[in-house]
A and B are shown apart, each in its own frame.
Chain A
Amino acid sequence: MSRSSAFALLLVAPALALVAVFFLHPLVLSVMSAFMANGQGPTLANFSRAFELYSGDIIFTIFVVTSATILTLVVAIAIAGALTLSASASFIAALRFLYRWPLFVPFIVAAQCMRTFLARNGLMNNAFVALGLFDPTTTSGYLDWRGMVITFAWKQVPFVTLLIAGAMASLDRATIEAGRDLGASRLRVLVELVIPQVMPTLLVSATLSFVLMLSVLSVPMMVAGTQPTLITVDMAFRINAYGDYGTANALGVISYLLASGAAIFYLRHTLKDDRR
């Protein structure tokens, strides 16, 4: 190694040390602890306990996070598509002004907003009742899986829209115009011409959103009831109520496995980009 690259490594070393000590080290600890019970290992005892107690919540987590990711993508594609293909300048300006706001809202604030907005007596039900859409005697709250899916999507849509609209803006306008000239509807141009070309961006933003939702503790804690809940809440409960690191870390490893498929894709994509 040359002297100059040794110097470069020296400049990067302190920052890397922080990641090593406060991310890689606890990551290794969590995996080791997941495979150990009573100081003995390797064992799968923690995993069988985790599945015994929380298999319902694991499936529920996959369901909620996948639904939220799909809802996020559908809404983001609709907004980005409208921004790209609409002929109405005032419509585009209104959408562009509106869609970004939740991006600036912290997750915990979003959770508190939704905790009131989606409640039985929240502003959403009240607005629909006032418009005559709902019967006030039969309204119910949405503070369950629906609340989580809505809150996650509300928070993630701006970020994903920003990425997708950016990718759509850099597409060749000529193919889009050609499709329109040949009589294709805007929806068909979106589905058959635009979406395939922004697929890499779509998949990256979907995986990032998926992993992020697996990390957020405030939304399941504040927006939904206790049962069923996401495994993030179960992990916190195992620690705070029982000091049970084994089961908590087994659930942690399960969350890594859920995210790893997504992460592998993401890494592959960034590495490919870098080689260019």
Chain B
Amino acid sequence: MKAAALTVAGAAVRTAIVVMMAFAVFGPLANLVLWAFAERWYTPHALPVTWSLRWWEIVFRPTGDAMASLTTSIVIALLTVVVALALSIPAGYALARLKLPFRTLILVLFLLPQAFPSVSIYINVARIFYSLGLAGTVPAVVLVHATQGLVYSVWIATAAFAAVDRDLDLAARDLGASHLTAFWHVTLPLAAPGITASAIFVFLGSLDEFTGTFFVGVPQVNTLPLLLYNAGMGGNYQIASITALILLVPSVVFMLLVERLLGADVLSRIGR
């Protein structure tokens, strides 16, 4: 009898924990969704007083600020991926395959921009760009985002190349391929899933980045996170919430993809 009562009590506690956790995880997101469809919502009403799709229409109007910000954000994120991959593929190959002095130090250097309180870094980067006349331009924002993204692209590219069997490269060269041909037709395609995953991290990092753009991009470069911030601080919770939902879509979709692209063989080698 006592054991049965304990089992029931245990199940009740577990159910309560799951319900509380679901509320803690989805409650804030639910509040966001409610605001996205609220026309009027004020105290003491627990739910929006009137609902509408009006703000969605305003956000998705082709000539609106939001569409311009979305375009800017995507262009910046794509350019950031191009810059980061162009630098990381050779660097990752060298770190994984070649004899490199100070290898650990070099790996740590790529981590530093992410492992440092960054606000004062951005303040001074903005100053550098200001003196170069590049403040408030897309290239400046791309360079800042790429610097932050390198830890993902270099570390994952290194792990991806390390996971490719060296003998395949040797076999290709035995058959007469040059170093470059063997790299281009054998090693790179085999490392491609890992490198694609790293591109997704860099893309999302850039898309979601706020602080660097806040200092380096103002006032001309207006990305989605800046639009969200300005709308939220200006009290327009509908625009802020819809923008937030737009930012959430690629995050959730891409993160689901990443799990398929990064196998355990690559994951276990990251940071080594």
Interface residues of A (CB under 8 A from B): 1-2, 4-5, 7-9, 11-12, 14-16, 18-19, 22-27, 29-30, 33, 82, 86, 88, 91, 94-95, 98-99, 101-117, 120-124, 126-127, 129-130, 136, 154, 208, 211, 214-218, 221-222, 232, 235-236, 239, 245, 248-249, 251-253, 255-256, 258-259, 263, 266-267, 270-271, 273-274
Instruction: Kindly provide the distance from the CB of B12 to the nearest chain A CB, expressed in whole angstroms.
Output: 12
Give the size category of B's interface with A: 35 or more
Complex-state Cα separation, A97 to B116, whole angstroms: 31
The B contact surface, by secondary structure, is helix
State whether A18 touches B87 (Cβ < 8 A). yes
Other than the given A18-B150, A27-B124, A91-B17, 8 more pairs (CB < 8 A) read A16-B109, A19-B110, A99-B25, A109-B208, A113-B29, A211-B115, A236-B123, A274-B272
Contact B229 A23 (CB under 8 A): no
- Return chain A residues, CB-CB under 8 Å to B255: 103-104
Report 26 cross-chain contacts, Cβ distance below 8 Å, ordered by A residue.
A9-B100, A18-B147, A19-B109, A19-B113, A19-B147, A26-B123, A26-B128, A29-B124, A33-B124, A88-B11, A98-B22, A104-B248, A117-B27, A121-B44, A130-B46, A211-B115, A214-B117, A215-B117, A217-B210, A232-B117, A235-B123, A236-B123, A239-B215, A255-B119, A266-B115, A273-B272
Q: Tell me which of B24, B93, B113, B225 contacts A11 (CB under 8 A).
A: B93
Measured between C-beta atoms, what is the minimum distance from A128 to chain B in Å? 10
- A residues near B172, Cβ cutoff 8 Å: none
Question: Please, which residues of chain B bring their CB within 8 A of the CB of A94?
Answer: 18
Is the Cβ of A9 less than 8 Å from the Cβ of B101? Answer: yes
Task: Pick the residue among B46, B110, B123 that contacts A248 (CB under 8 A).
Answer: B123
Query: Is A22 touching B87 in the complex (CB atoms < 8 A)?
Result: no
Q: Does B203 sit at the interface, judged by CB under 8 A?
A: no
Q: Given A91-B14, A112-B228, A116-B32, A218 and B210 touching (CB < 8 A)?
A: yes
Q: Chain A's nearest CB lies how many Å from the CB of B258?
A: 10
Q: Are B21 and A222 interface neighbours, CB within 8 A?
A: no
Interface centre among A2, A4, A11, A24 (most CB of B within 10 A): A11
Q: Across the interface, which residues of A come within 8 angstroms of B124, CB to CB?
A: 26-27, 29-30, 33, 249
Contact residue among B24, B44, B91 (Cβ-Cβ distance under 8 Å from A14): B91
**Inter-subunit contact B27/A124 (CB<8 Å):** yes
Return chain B residues, CB-CB under 8 Å to A117.
27-28, 31
The answer to whether A235 touches B119 (Cβ under 8 A) is yes
* Residue contact B100 to A12, C-beta cutoff 8 Å: yes
Q: A8-B100, A18-B147, A105-B248 are in contact. Are A217 and B117 (CB under 8 A)?
A: no
Q: Given the known A-B contacts A15-B91, A103-B255, are A259 and B98 also in contact in the complex, defined by CB atoms under 8 Å? A: no
Q: Measured between C-beta atoms, what is the minimum distance from B248 to chain A in Å?
A: 6
Whether B208 lies near A107 (C-beta < 8 A) is yes
Chain B positions 240-269 with a Cβ under 8 Å from a chain A Cβ: 240-241, 244, 247-248, 251-252, 255
* Contact assessment for A26 and B28 in the assembled complex, using a CB-CB cutoff below 8 Å: no
B90 with A30: CB separation less than 8 A:
no
The complex places the Cα of A216 from the Cα of B143 at a distance, in Å, of: 19
CB 8 Å contact bits of B194-219 with A (1 = contact, 0 = none): 00000000000001101100110000
Do A107 and B210 touch across chains, with their CB atoms under 8 A apart?
Answer: yes
Contacts of B232 in A (CB 8 A): 111-112, 115, 222
Q: Is the CB of A108 within 8 A of B208?
A: yes
| Complex Cα gap A136–B43 (Å) | 11
A113's closest neighbor in chain B, by CB?
B28
- CB–CB A270/B108 < 8 A: yes
Asked whether any CB of chain A lies closer than 8 Å to the CB of B71, the reply is: no
Contact flag A109-B244 (CB < 8 Å), given A12-B106, A15-B91, A252-B123: yes
B135 is an interface residue with CB less than 8 A from chain A:
no
Chain A residues with Cβ below 8 Å from B30 are 123
Closest Cβ–Cβ distance, residue A13 to chain B (whole Å) = 8
